[in-house]
Amino acid sequence: MTKFKAQKRLDYAVIKQAIRDCSSKNELLVSDSLEWFNSDEFKIICERNNILPDKVIGSVREMLEYPIITRKKFAIEIAKLLNDSIT
């Protein structure tokens, strides 16, 4: 595995975990992950991987409008999409 591919997998893992954290019952975890989505670190990861941060943030905000069980399903689907996009 190349260094670039390893970095990309790590970056995607961080994004997926933050998305899963947004589907948590723990409000502090949700709050912390939302704060991270608005951080420079998140923007750097998106830039490095050609991800549109506004699209991710918009999807997460939309996900938060649903009940927790539905959020968890969305988080799983988003994780699958991210997995599929790693080439």
Q: What is the pLDDT of residues 23-80, one digit of tens each?
A: 999 999 999 999 999 999 999 999 999 999 999 999 999 999 999 999 999 999 988 8
Q: Would you state the pLDDT for residue 3? A: 86
Angle at CA of residue 60, ends 19 and 64, nearest 5°: 100
Residue 44 in domain: yes
Q: Would you state the pLDDT for residue 32? A: 97
Residue 18 in domain: no
Grade residue 87 by pLDDT with cuts at 50, 70 and 90.
Answer: low
Residue 1 in domain: no
Q: How many domains does the chain have?
A: 1
Q: Would you state the pLDDT for residue 1? A: 73
Distance, in Å, from the CA atom of 66 to the CA atom of 48, rounded to the nearest integer, reads: 30
The distance of Cα 68 from the centroid of its chain, to the nearest Å, equals 16
Domain containing 58 equals 26-85
pTM above 0.85, yes or no: yes
Better-scored residue on pLDDT, 66 or 86: 66
